[in-house]
Structure 1
Amino acid sequence: MRYTAIILVVSLVLTSCSKKTSFHKNEGLIFGTLYHFTYESENDLSDELKKVMNEYDLSLSTYKENSVISKINSNRSMETDEYFRTVFNKAKQITKVTDGAFDMTVAPLVNAWGFGFSKKDSITSELIDSLMMDVGMDMIEMEDGKIIKERPGIMLDASAIAKGYAVDVVADFLEFKGIENYMVEIGGEMRVKGTNPKGMSWKVGIDKPIDDPKVLERELQEIISISNIALATSGNYRNFYVKDGKKYAHTISPFTGYPVDHQLLGVSVLAPDCMTADAYATAFMVLGAEKGMAIVENDPELEGYFISAGTDMKYEIVYSKGFEKVIEVRE
């Protein structure tokens, strides 16, 4: 009887230690966009994840008056937090690699062209010349956790990197919880690990760069199969406006002060973390496919997929060797 009791106790302990996990799906609205999380866990972590995202928003949202970045932009405070410092340091790094194509100080230009957090101005060459005086990552530094500006008019726009870092923040939280299988997607940027509910790599679609507002359904250019990696996509086929018959894209060149005007329609970047993928995707939209691909081929941690406008209404597609390996063959 004694041995039977011991076996029974051990059995109960083992049973209690092996709680059943299942895949949970959370979705909602954050940072002005939709998010979708799928993860294998013992518990639904929706409330905890919302708390993490809301705390993050208080650092890098230019739409919140008392966020860290808003205080810096209005010169009310130059103090930073860990979220801001991480983004700022990564931005500095990618600005250097891209010879200035990635530049957080384009905020005044983004606002002037109507794609930012304040009202659009009436564009003149004189206005652009004036705003360009405050553009340049070399005019802003961080010392002892505080931002130092050369000019008070310098403002930062984190929209091209903060969403990607938000994906990383959520993914890192899930990993802190011991979760091995997940897909974190915020506004199209994502990071995946392990396998999906079917026990396979995560399958993700890359959209065709269709800018016709009459086309409501997504059309996929490719389907890729990925795991343990981050993906970010940037393009000028959704966020734009037409004035006097001319299309104005949301990607603003820090070199000219004007929206980019070249053949590259969209780019998708694979990287170990989503912050890096997000920033490079934007930089490549400024640089164009040829220069963007050159950077990809020089960095073993990056892969890229570039869609450019071709002739006869066709696309010109180029991608790196590593990206080719994740493309699903479709019949």
Structure 2
Amino acid sequence: MARLLIVALALFTAACKSDPVTLTFSGETMGTTYNITALDKSADIDADALEVAIQAQLSDVNKKMSNWDPNSEVSRFNSDSSTEPVEVSTEFAEVMTAANEIHDKSNGLFDVTLGPLIEIWGFGARNSESPIPSDEAIASALEVVGQKKVLTLTSNPDTLQKSLPETSIYLAAIAKGYGVDQVAAVLRDAGISDYMVEIGGDLVTSGQSPSGEKWRIGIERPDAVSKTVEEIVALSGLGMATSGDYRNYFEEDGVRYSHIIDAGTGRPITHGTASVTVLAKDAMMADGWATALLVLGQERGMKIAEEEGLAVLFIARNPETAEIGFETTVSSQFEKLQASK
């Protein structure tokens, strides 16, 4: 009788439980847009309070990582000419630790100190009349960049030190991913385990989509004109980021100059890899690695992807058809993760 009563109570509870509610939030942050989809399985989460918490988290990330906010933590560090150690927030130190890891494993081609090169190539505040920088200007900028050469990060306490007064940090290639992960943490703290958080194309997923399946994400063909999907990826419990050279570039005298700068040469990349998509444990690492592997290009990047067990999809321009055709190549880990999609 007791067993029957327990079963009856369980059935009654299940019958009374509300259906899951799909929550959606969107807005602007970090100079781009964000979109969040989350499943409230308990149907009792205060959506307004959750949105306030999300906005507060995004604001906090901006106050620490935004190069466009003159009062942010990174901007204050950049404007300070002192070469003494500066105490930094735990969050800033976390991002720099990840940046150092990717820097080391990418043979130094992921570099958050490329600001001077980004500026002289006109991708900071470029105008259409800006000339191609001279060899001398590039050489001068290279003297003050080099992440492990000009920056020293320590822990306990967390400090960051410049070796040159003019050294600056540019976090655009990793901060969006970090922001995605921080918003995901807000959702988890609210008891949500099924969600997709996206900021400017970088995203992280968990659990199932409203359809009850893995989240299905389209990877754009690296052609700013066509705006078509090249590949669909099934994700759950992973971060994803795509870096491409096809949106932010300029042409002069028939030569195409991308905003993706090679830290070794101080010049825009010249290989045929048009975009790189990375699946990783979180959005921050996916974000950083996508940029690093795009700088490396498919040939060198694939070797590192296989060595590090990275899930990567490279899209390269077909050398025979240039912009018209593309060739897709994936790492073994990417193929493994998508085998059951």
Task: Calculate the TM-score normalised by the size of structure 2.
Answer: 0.86
Contact 1:225 1:328 in 2 (8 A): no
Alpha carbons of structure 1 residues 48 and 223: separation in structure 2 relative to 1, 3 Å: same
- Partner residue, 1:62: 67
Establish whether residue 174 from structure 1 lines up as the match of residue 187 from structure 2. Answer: yes
The residue type paired with residue 251 of structure 1 is I
Q: Could you list the runs of 5+ residues in structure 1 that have no partner in the other structure?
A: 1-9
Aligned-residue sequence identity (percent) comes to 35
The range that moved more, 236-245 or 284-293, is: 236-245
**1:191 alignment partner, one of 187, 193, 204:** 204
d(CA) in 2 for partners of 1:220 and 1:59? 34
In structure 2, relative to structure 1, the CA distance for the partners of 1:86 and 1:329 (3 Å cut) is closer
**2:240 partner amino acid:** L
Counting only pairs closer than 5 Å after superposition, residues 127-142 of structure 1 correspond to structure 2 as: 127-138=137-148, 139-142=150-153
Matches within 5 A, 1:1-331: 21-41=20-40, 42-44=45-47, 45-75=50-80, 78-116=86-124, 122=131, 123-138=133-148, 139-143=150-154, 144-211=157-224, 215=225, 218-300=227-309, 302-310=310-318, 311-312=320-321, 313-325=324-336, 327=338
TM-superposed CA distance for 1:18, in Å, is 5.7
Confirm or deny: 8 A CA contact 2:93 2:159 kept in the other structure: no
In terms of mean alpha carbon deviation, does 77-86 or 117-126 score higher? Answer: 117-126
For 1:222 and 1:239, the matched residues in 2 are separated by 22
Deviation at 1:55, TM superposition (A): 1.0
Structure 1 residues 200 and 294 mapped into 2: Cα distance closer, same or farther (>3 Å)? same
Tell me, in whole angstroms, the C-alpha distance in 2 between the residues paired with 1:135 and 1:73: 13
Cα–Cα, structure 1 residues 259 and 201, in superposed 2: closer, same or farther, change >3 Å?
same
Residues matched between the structures, number: 315
Look up the SS of the partner of 1:94 in the other structure. helix
Across the aligned residues of Structure 1 and Structure 2, the Cα RMSD in angstroms comes to 2.5
Q: Pick which of 109-118 and 289-298 moved more.
A: 109-118
CA–CA distance in structure 1, aligned partners of residues 52 and 18 of structure 2: 21
Aligned residue for 1:309, secondary structure, equals strand
SS of residue paired to 1:93: helix
Deviation at 1:126, TM superposition (A): 1.1
Q: Deviations over 1:38-60 (max 9, x none)?
A: 00122322221011101110000
Aligned 8 A contact 1:161 1:276 in 2: yes
CA distance in structure 2 between the aligned counterparts of 1:188 and 1:154, rounded to whole angstroms: 29
What residue is the counterpart of 1:3 in the other structure? none
Uncovered stretches (5+) of structure 2, i.e. residues with no partner: 1-8
Determine the C-alpha separation between the residues in 2 that align with 1:328 and 1:272.
18
**Is 2:81–2:166's contact at 8 Å kept on the other side of the alignment?**
no
Measure how far apart 1:119 and its partner are. Answer: 7.8
The one-letter code sitting in structure 2 at the alignment partner of 1:27 is S
> 1:175 Cα shift?
1.2
TM-score (norm 1): 0.88
- Structure 2 distance, partners of 1:117, 1:80, is 27
Aligned partner of 1:89: which letter? T
Asked if the contact 1:72–1:79 (Cα under 8 Å) also holds between the matched residues in 2, the reply is: no
In 2, Cα distance between equivalents of 1:119 and 1:95? 30
Q: 1:314 deviation in Å?
A: 2.4
SS at match of 1:192: strand
Counterparts in 2 of 1:79 and 1:233: CA distance versus 1, 3 Å: same
Letter matched to residue 38 of structure 1: T
Instruction: State the Cα distance separating 1:156 from its structure 2 match.
Output: 0.6
